[in-house]
């Protein structure tokens, strides 16, 4: 799958979600927008590019840091629990992304080390 079409699709989802959130200035639209955003992250995050993640991080920050404080005082305990659950799920995605990146870096170092040793063992001038 090409990263460019996926990025365009993701961008359209963010714009649509942002449009809905701005157009319907209500707690319900905030909840629906946040839930829609999290559904997209849950279903597509395995294929996200770095640009997709940057866009998702910005959208998440908007929901968590800008919109949530506006509606927090008017939320029921169940609504707050739902928001906290979505925040926790996103944070888990961030941790998984970090672990995946670290694993990829370790694999790169292993591959580089194998190549280095192979090159050293091929060099007969070192054994003379």
pLDDT, tens only, 42-90: 999 888 998 999 999 999 999 999 999 999 999 999 999 999 999 999 9
CA distance 29 to 37: 12
Residue ranges making up the domain that contains 38: 3-98
Whether 68 maps to a domain, the answer reads yes
Question: Is-above-0.85 flag for pTM?
Answer: no
CA distance 44 to 89: 14
Whether 30 maps to a domain, the answer reads yes
Chain-centre distance for alpha carbon 19: 20
Q: Which residues contact 34 (CB under 8 A, 6 or more apart)?
A: 63, 67, 68, 83, 86
Q: For residue 48, give the DSSP letter.
A: -
Signed CA dihedral, 25, 30, 31, 34: sign only: positive
Whether 126 maps to a domain, the answer reads no
Whether 116 maps to a domain, the answer reads no
Whether 112 maps to a domain, the answer reads no
pLDDT, tens only, 101-127: 888 889 899 999 999 988 888 877 877
Based on the structure, what is the number of domains in the chain?
Answer: 1
Whether 120 maps to a domain, the answer reads no
Whether 56 maps to a domain, the answer reads yes
């Amino acid at each position: 799958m090409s990263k460019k079409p996926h990025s365009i699709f993701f961008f359209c989802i963010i714009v649509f979600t942002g449009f809905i959130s701005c157009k319907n200035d209500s707690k319900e639209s905030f909840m629906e927008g946040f839930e829609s955003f999290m559904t997209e992250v849950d279903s597509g995050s395995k294929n996200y590019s770095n640009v997709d993640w940057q866009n998702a991080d910005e959208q998440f920050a908007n929901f968590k840091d800008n919109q949530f404080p506006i509606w927090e005082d008017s939320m029921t305990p169940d609504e707050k629990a739902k928001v906290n659950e979505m925040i926790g799920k996103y944070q888990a995605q961030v941790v998984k992304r970090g672990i995946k990146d670290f694993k990829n870096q370790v694999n790169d170092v292993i591959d580089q080390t194998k190549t280095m040793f192979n090159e050293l063992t091929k060099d007969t001038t070192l054994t003379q």
